[in-house]
């Protein structure tokens, strides 16, 4: 996994301002996915992050980088819990929810739009998208915002600035580990 790919898709998560991020990794004959995931976990675990492949096909893997403490906080939100329960999740722990999300990604015919909860999106916006994906959208950025558009726009701007800054720092020779903010 290239540091540039991770920076491009995960900078706000690395910076500690977003719960989680997803990106698609092209798999070639030379790709040793589990070795790469282990190495990345070894580098980032002490900084409060985890890395897991959520879904794997013959030529791509969907990689999830997240902060377990943030995900636990986010999934304790009553609206988030209700969305997950309504979609068949047994919310015993964040890890259990991630395992169930991976099953939904692998076996469901439709995409599990509750995935936004695992990325730190506001539950009201996740619910809005699930119920009416094309109606009531107030603004778009990293997600479709159905409520609090001003707050969403500020967050989108913060995420963009973070990614720009991280791109600059990686070009200047900083390592992924150096750029990852330590959290509990």
Residue 98 placed within a domain: yes
Residue 70 placed within a domain: yes
In angstroms, the CA 120 to CA 122 distance is 6
- The token duo for 26 is 């092209």
In angstroms, the CA 18 to CA 26 distance is 24
Q: What value does the mean pLDDT of the chain take?
A: 93
**Across 89-104, average pLDDT:** 92
Strand partners, 51: 65
Reported confidence tier of residue 109, pLDDT bands at 50, 70, 90: confident
Give me Rg for the CA atoms of the chain: 16
Burial 40-54 (b: 16+ CB within 10 A, else e): beeebeebbbbbbbb
Per-range mean pLDDT, top range of 22-36, 136-150, 170-184: 136-150
Reported confidence tier of residue 90, pLDDT bands at 50, 70, 90: confident
Residue 183 placed within a domain: no
Is residue 183's pLDDT more than 70?
yes
20: containing domain: 3-172
Residue 105 placed within a domain: yes
* CA neighbor of 99 nearest in space, from 84, 77, 80: 84
pTM for the whole structure = 0.93
End-to-end, the C-alpha distance of the chain in Å comes to 25
Is residue 30's pLDDT more than 80?
no
Model confidence over 38-50: pLDDT tens digits? Answer: 999 999 999 999 9
**Across 64-68, average pLDDT:** 97
Residue 96 placed within a domain: yes
* CA neighbor of 142 nearest in space, from 120, 169, 123: 120
pLDDT, residue 28, reads: 80
Residue 14 placed within a domain: yes
pLDDT, residue 184, reads: 62
Residue 180 placed within a domain: no
Q: In the chain, how many domains are there? A: 1
Residue 177 placed within a domain: no
């Amino acid at each position: 996994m290239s540091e540039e790919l991770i920076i491009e898709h995960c900078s706000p998560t690395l910076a500690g301002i977003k719960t989680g991020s997803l990106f698609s990794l092209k798999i070639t004959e030379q790709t040793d996915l589990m070795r790469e995931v282990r190495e990345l976990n070894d580098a980032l675990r002490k900084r409060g992050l985890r890395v897991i492949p959520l879904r794997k096909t013959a030529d791509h893997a969907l990689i999830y980088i997240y902060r377990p403490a943030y995900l636990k906080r986010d999934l304790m939100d009553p609206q988030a819990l209700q969305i997950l329960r309504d979609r068949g999740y047994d919310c015993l722990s964040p890890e259990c929810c991630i395992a169930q999300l991976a099953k939904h990604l692998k076996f469901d015919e439709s995409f599990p739009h509750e995935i936004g909860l695992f990325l730190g999106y506001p539950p009201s916006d996740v619910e809005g998208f699930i119920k009416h994906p094309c109606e009531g959208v107030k603004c778009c950025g990293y997600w479709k915002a159905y409520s609090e558009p001003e707050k969403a726009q500020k967050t989108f701007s913060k995420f963009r600035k973070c990614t720009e800054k991280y791109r600059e720092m990686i070009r200047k020779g900083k390592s992924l580990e150096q750029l990852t903010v330590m959290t509990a």
